Amino acid sequence: MKILNKLLQNVESEIVEFKEAKNNFDLDKLGKYVSAISNEANLRSKRYG
C-alpha cells in the first residue's frame, strides 16, 4: 500500500501512468502497459514504476 500511495502522489511520467477502466478492459493491453512501465522503471534504475 505504501508504494501505491507514493505513486498516486506523483504526476504521470515515463514510469507512472494512470488509466481508468470505465467498463471493461483488455487483459492483453493491461499486460503490455504493466510490462512497458516496468521496463521503463528498470531502465531508470527504479525499483518500481
Sign of dihedral through CA atoms 26, 30, 36, 37?
A: positive
To the question of pTM greater than 0.85 for the whole model, the response is no
pLDDT tens figures, 1-49: 787 777 777 777 776 777 777 777 788 988 898 898 889 889 989 887 5
